[in-house]
Amino acid sequence: MHAAIITFPGTNRERDMAIALERVSGRRPAMLWHKDSVLPAGLDVVVLPGGFSHGDYLRSGAMAARAPIMDAVRAFAARGGHVLGVCNGFQILTEAGLLPGALLKNASLRFLAQDCRLRVERSDTAFTRGFEQGAEFSATMAHGDGNYFADDATLDALEGEGRVVLRYVGANLNGSARAIAGVCSANRRVLGLMPHPENCVDPLVGGTDGLPMFAGLSASFAGV
Amino acid sequence: MLLKVTVLPKNGVLDPQGKAIQQALGSLGFDAVQDVRAGKVIMLDIAETDATRARAAAEDMARKLLANTVIESFTVEIP
């Protein structure tokens, strides 16, 4: 799997993401800067990791979504490329118009730094094929703006098209509409989610619940 | 020319900050407050003397960056 991780000023989850991607694929991802304007040739996956790009000024992800590299990411997605956005990366994808909806301030107004439980609503995406349909797993959440919002018509369309990929199980801590934790594009190749599966890829640090996401993704590009 | 862009959460969009402000006002005894919406004001100083063109530019900026029209509405005024 040939992956690239995009970093912005204030991104802080790129190293754990790189460890997760390398662990399953044996290949170190390319690290790109927001001012780059081209993606490496032959790329399989672009990852927008978590953090606080541009200090969350204006709105989380708003500045990053308009960075030079995002035109290349948009073109990559339009060609059918796979794009994964985690936490701030999800916020950037919605701000960039690559995924519908928006992430509002958590309903509690509190920053949430704790584990959450997720259910895999569809396992037929490159990102979730490592899980069984309906499987549940734990991941870490660390966000202030994770409250997924879209108007009812958009939510109904997302549900109808099967684009709700991950849902919170039990407590819906950030108040997301319909407990949505992750949504994908119509072609299921762009996924955004708020929790951090890359925090959960090592038995010594937080367990390995998130590993199937990366293992499945890697397998998608290994001809498996 | 100075322009004032006001960005507010759209009607129907949950506004946790507005709710928190409303509760705090209530605890101070301002019981008559029925609703609070919290947004932001952005002042732009644009190198433009024509009001129509300045307003059009500010609206373009609001649509492209200053407001997320999925969740926010905006107004442009010349104060």
Q: Do B14 and A66 touch (CB under 8 A)?
A: no
| Nearest alpha-carbon partner for A162 in A131, A138, A185, A192 | A185
pLDDT at position A127, please? 98
pLDDT at position A67, please? 95
Q: pLDDT class for B12, splitting at 50, 70, 90?
A: confident
Q: Do B65 and A58 touch (CB under 8 A)?
A: yes
Q: Do B16 and A66 touch (CB under 8 A)?
A: no
| Min Cα–Cα distance to chain B from A161, Å | 20
pLDDT at position A165, please? 98
Out of 3.30.1280.10, 3.20.20.450, 3.40.605.10, 3.40.309.10, the CATH code matching B2-77 is 3.30.1280.10
**pTM exceeds cut of 0.90:** yes
- Is the ipTM higher than 0.90? The answer is no
Option in B65, B66, B71 nearest A149 (CB): B71
Is the pLDDT at B74 greater than 80? The verdict is yes
Both tokens assigned to A124: 């037929």
Q: How far, in Å, CA of A184 to CA of A157, rounded?
A: 12
Q: How many CB pairs under 8 A join A and B?
A: 37
Both tokens assigned to A86: 């985690």
User: How crowded is residue A15: how many other Cβ atoms within 10 Å of its Cβ?
Assistant: 14
Do A31 and A41 form a contact (C-beta atoms < 8 A)?
no
Parse chain B into domains and list their residue ranges.
2-77
Q: Which residues from A are below 8 Å from B69, CB to CB? A: none
Instruction: Quick: pLDDT tens for A173-223.
Output: 999 999 999 999 999 999 999 999 999 999 998 899 999 999 999 999 987
Both tokens assigned to A167: 């849902």
- Using a pLDDT cut of 70, give the percent of chain A over it: 100
Q: pLDDT class for B3, splitting at 50, 70, 90?
A: very high
Instruction: Quick: pLDDT tens for A7-60.
Output: 999 999 999 999 999 999 999 999 999 999 999 999 999 999 999 999 999 999
Q: Which residues from A are below 8 Å from B38, CB to CB? A: none
pLDDT at position A224, please? 62
Instruction: Quick: pLDDT tens for B42-73.
Output: 999 999 999 999 999 999 999 999 999 999 99
